[in-house]
Amino acid sequence: MRIAELDVIPIALPFAHPYVSATGRLERREMLLVRIECSDGTIGWGDAVPLSLRGGPGMAAVRRELEGACRPELVGTAIGAEPARLAAGARARCRARGAGRQAGSAIDIALLDLCGKLEGRPAWRLLGARAAAPVACNASIGADPPELAAPAAVSAVRAGFGTIKVKVGDAGELDRVGAVRAAAGPGALLRVDANGSWDVASATDRIASLEPLGIELVEQPGATAADLAAVRAATAVPVVADESVGDLATATAAMRLGAFDAATLKLAKVGGPHAAVEIAAAVPAYLSSALDSAVGIAAAAHTAQAMRRRGFAAGRAHGLATSPLFADNLTDDGHLSGPEIEVGDAPGLGVDVEPEAVERLRLR
C-alpha cells in the first residue's frame, strides 16, 4: 500500500459576522485543505492556515511549499506495518525540502488522521496520550463595539463558558472589556489579547486601566519577547506569549528572558501537533485557534490530550472554541463549539469532512 495522492484545495470559511482584531478585519478565513489518499482509498485530512496578518507567509507561498516540497516526498511512499513511524520520517523530509511551519502543520495533521485510520486508533493515542478528557475552552469576542460584545458575553455564559477572551489593542478596548465584564458577571474569567499591538509604555498603562475589571491574563501585550518581559516586570497581571513564540527555540529563549507566565500555541504557528507537544514539554503552554477549520480544531483537541500542563498553564482554558464564529464549515462542527470539546475513540481525528462542503467552500 502506498500514498497515492496529495491534493491541496484552497477554501474560505465565511464568518457569521466580520472578525475584527488589532491585526485586521476578516470577512472570511482563507486556508488550504490538504487531502492525502492511500492506494486502498483511506483518506487523511489536514488544514494549512496562513498567518500573513501576523507576519507569516501568505496562502500562495504555503501552497507552493505543499505542492513543491511535500507532494514529491509523500506521493508514492510505501506504507509499512507502522504508519506512524512513516509519518515521522515524512514530516522531516518535507521540512528538509523547505516546507515551513504552516505547510508542515497541515501535513502533520493529515498524516495523523491517515495513520490513525489505518491503525484503527484515535490521533491522541498516536501523539502519546494514554487517555482522553474533555478540553475546556474559552469563548472568543472580537474587537466589537460594546453593544455587540455584551450580548455575545451573555450568550457565552449561558452556553456554559467559564472563560471569555476579548480582543483589545484599539481605542474602544476599555469600554468593550467593561461591557463584557458587566454582561458576564463577576464569576467569569476574563482574558484579553492585544496581538502585539502595544508598545511597552502603552501596554503598562492599558493593563493598569483594565486590571480593576478582573483580568485573568493578557496575551501578547507587546511585539517582542523583550517587550513582554518588560511588561511582565511592570504589572501583576499574568502575561502569555503568542506571536513571539513560534517554535521550541523561541519558546525556551523567551522563558529564559522572563517574558511570559505561559505560551499559547497555535498548530499552524508552531508546525503541527507533534511540535506543540514538544514545546509544551519544555514551557507552560495551552492551545489556541488560528481560526482553523473543523479539521484543525479537532487536531488541536487531540493534541491537548498529549500536552504536559504545568505551571501557570495548568487548568487554563484552551482557546479552541472558534467554530461558532463561522457561518459554514467542512462538516457539522457542533461538537467542536465548546465550552468543552470531546475527541472520543474514533480512528484518526474523528472528523468526517463532507465532500459537498469542500466544493461549496472551495476558492475558484
Structure confidence by residue, pLDDT tens digits, 115-157: 999 999 999 999 999 999 999 999 999 999 999 999 999 999 9
Is the pTM higher than 0.85? yes
d(CA 156, CA 168): 18
Please name the helix (run of DSSP H) or strand (run of DSSP E) that holds residue 273, with its range, or none: helix 273-280
Please report the pLDDT score of residue 81 as a whole number.
66
Residue with cell 494514554: 130
Please report the pLDDT score of residue 80 as a whole number.
74
Helix axes 248-257, 225-234, angle to 10 degrees: 30
Structure confidence by residue, pLDDT tens digits, 220-263: 999 999 999 999 999 999 999 999 999 999 999 999 999 999 99
d(CA 109, CA 297): 10
Please report the pLDDT score of residue 92 as a whole number.
86
d(CA 173, CA 185): 18
Given a contact cutoff of 8 angstroms between Cβ atoms, the answer to whether 331 and 361 are in contact is no
Structure confidence by residue, pLDDT tens digits, 201-226: 999 999 999 999 999 999 999 999 99
Active site residue 117: no
3-state secondary structure of 98: coil
Please report the pLDDT score of residue 247 as a whole number.
95
Structure confidence by residue, pLDDT tens digits, 9-33: 999 999 999 998 877 789 999 999 9
d(CA 73, CA 98): 11
Please report the pLDDT score of residue 347 as a whole number.
97
Please report the pLDDT score of residue 22 as a whole number.
79
Q: How does strand 217-219 pair with strand 340-341?
A: unpaired
Average pLDDT, stretch 318-329?
96
Structure confidence by residue, pLDDT tens digits, 41-96: 999 999 999 987 666 789 999 999 999 999 999 999 888 767 777 778 888 889 89
Residue 47: phi, psi to the nearest 5? -130, 145
Domains of the chain: 3-120 (3.30.390.10), 135-341 (3.20.20.120)
